[in-house]
Chains A and B, each alone.
Chain A
Amino acid sequence: MTPEELMSIPDGQHTATPPPAPKPKGWWRRNILALIGLVPVLALVIGIGFIDPFYRFWQAGPLRPVSADAQGIATIDGIQFRLEELTKVELKDFGGKAILLPVGTLAWKAVVEIKAPDQEKVGLCHFFVEDKAGKLYGDGPDELSKAKGATSFSTCTSSDEKASAAYRVTVYFLLPALAKPEAVRVTWITRYPDYIRLPARVR
Chain B
Amino acid sequence: MSFLRRTGSRLASTVLFIAVLAAGYGIATITPDLAAEHRPFLIGGNLSEPIQTRLFEVKVTGVKFGSTVKVAGSLSAKPSPLATGGVWVLIHVKFSANSKPTRINYAALVSADGRTFLATDRVDQKIVIGGRELQPGIPAEGDALFEIPKSAATAGLVARFAAAEKYDVRKDAMAEVVLVPDGAAVFVDTSALAYDPAVKA
Contact = CB atoms under 8 A, between A and B. Distances in A.
Interface string B100-142: 1100000000000000000000000000000011011110000
A135 B135 CA distance: 9
Given A102-B138, A142-B199, A143-B201, A128 B101 contact: yes
Nearest to B132: A142
Contacts, number: 46
A123 interface: no
Contacts of A152: 133
Given A105-B138, A174-B138, A176-B137, A138 B101 contact: yes
A137 B99 CA distance: 8
Contacts of B135: 137-138, 141, 143, 174-175
Contacts of B99: 134-136
A176 B138 contact: yes
B166 interface: yes
B97 to A, nearest CB: 9
17 contacts: A56-B168, A60-B165, A102-B201, A135-B99, A135-B136, A136-B99, A137-B136, A138-B100, A138-B101, A141-B133, A142-B132, A143-B138, A174-B135, A175-B135, A176-B136, A176-B138, A178-B137
Interface residues of B, number: 15
A175 B101 CA distance: 11
A176 B136 CA distance: 8
A63 interface: no
A179 interface: yes
A138 B133 contact: yes
A105 B166 CA distance: 28
B101 A137 contact: yes
A175 B166 CA distance: 24
Closest 6 CB pairs of A and B: A102-B201, A138-B101, A176-B137, A136-B100, A135-B136, A135-B99
Contacts of B165: 60
Interface in A125-179: 128, 134-138, 141-143, 152, 174-176, 178-179
